[in-house]
Amino acid sequence: AIGEGNLYERVFVSHLLSDPDDPNTVTGAVGFSVRDNVIYVFKAKAVICTAGGAVNMWRPHAVGEGLGRAWYTVFNTGSVYNLMINAGAKMTQLEHRIVQTRFKDGYGPVGARANSTV
């Protein structure tokens, strides 16, 4: 049950744990605190992985002007996809991504208000 004692903040989950008898079942996770020198091992009946996409997954066409300047945070690396793939998940439709072709102070898709003063 989710309660005050069951919430862990600022923990980076690095590996999902599988059941030795059923490799297709995730039974926990391993992570570490991003603030303290602590490693966590979680046992779970169910694991939910949520991914918020990935920024700079592909190089922009304007590599001179646009490289390194992203519309969303560059720390959104898509590492959750790798976490699930390493646990044996079958991934589909990874080619259907929301790819923000805009970047700060640059040009963007039709209708984007880049360089707008409003």
My answer on whether 61 and 73 are in the same domain is yes
Does a structural domain hold residue 99?
A: yes
My answer on whether 44 and 57 are in the same domain is no
CA dihedral 20, 16, 31, 55 (to 10 degrees): 170
Residue 96 vs residues 53, 79, 82: alpha-carbon distances, Å = 11, 17, 17
Smallest CA-to-CA distance from 15 within 45, 49, 51, 38 is with: 49
- Taking the C-alpha atoms of residue 24 and residue 89, their distance in angstroms, rounded to an integer, is 8
Q: What is the mean pLDDT of each run of 10 residues along the chain (118 residues)?
A: 78 92 91 96 89 68 62 75 86 64 53 45
Does a structural domain hold residue 115?
A: no
My answer on whether 41 and 3 are in the same domain is yes
Parent domain of 37: 1-48
Domain count of the fold of the chain: 2
Does a structural domain hold residue 116?
A: no
Confidence at residue 62, expressed as pLDDT on a 0 to 100 scale: 59
Does a structural domain hold residue 114?
A: no
